Amino acid sequence: MHDRWPVWKLALLLYVFAAAAVAINLFMLGLMMQAFGFTALSPVRTLLISIPLGIPAAWAAGRWVRHLLDEAEEG
């Protein structure tokens, strides 16, 4: 069996994309929350919040990609 990429390497590789997806979703959520009387999140605040929230999102994406790679190797 050849070398497998561990989940942490995949998560590190995917972190930028996961954090960006979190930022976009948070920004859109902030815009939708205006309907309930909340103020919208600024783009800078959204990016700052997405930095730590991108870590679990990247880990989940890494696990998902690892699962896909394992399935591809099986069949």
Q: What is the pLDDT of residue 58?
A: 98
Instruction: Give the pTM.
Output: 0.87
**Is residue 63 pLDDT above 60, yes or no?**
yes
Q: What is the pLDDT of residue 34?
A: 96
Mean pLDDT to the nearest integer, 54-75: 95
Q: What is the pLDDT of residue 2?
A: 65
Cβ contacts of residue 50 below 8 Å, gap of 6+?
19, 20, 22, 23, 26
Which tens digit of pLDDT belongs to each residue from 11-57?
999 999 999 999 999 999 999 999 999 999 999 999 999 999 999 99
